[in-house]
Amino acid sequence: MPQQKPARDPADWVRQLALALDLPFLLLGAIVAGGLVGYALDAWLHTKPWLMLVCGGLGFVGGMRTVLRTLATRNAGAGGARKPPGGTNA
């Protein structure tokens, strides 16, 4: 007897689509925010372009951390066995 696939939630693809559309904005928003803060600090301290690059890089790191945390939370909520970054389930 063939094994049947478990029934999927009909709205699951909508949640996946929403997540796929949300993640790029999380990453780009963090990079842009970091870059703008760096640009303002550069204009104030006359250190162009160093603080913009540093803060933009920090924004990239923060954005990637947010994206990975969001994906880990989504995976844990779907019954996945993965642990979130940091190794604890707090």
pLDDT one-digit tens code per residue, 19-73: 999 999 999 999 999 999 999 999 999 999 999 999 999 999 999 999 999 999 9
pLDDT of 4 > 60? The answer is yes
Largest interatomic CA distance in the chain: 74
Q: Is the pTM of this model over 0.85?
A: no
Q: Give the integer Cα–Cα distance in Å for 31 and 28.
A: 5
pLDDT of residue 7: 67
Rounded Cα gap, residues 58 and 50, in angstroms = 12
Angle (CA) 39 41 43, round 5°: 70
90 pLDDT above the threshold of 60: no
Cβ neighbours of 83 (radius 10 Å)? 12
Cβ pair 31, 61 in contact under 8 A: no
How many whole angstroms separate alpha carbon 38 and alpha carbon 51? Answer: 5
- DSSP class of 87: S
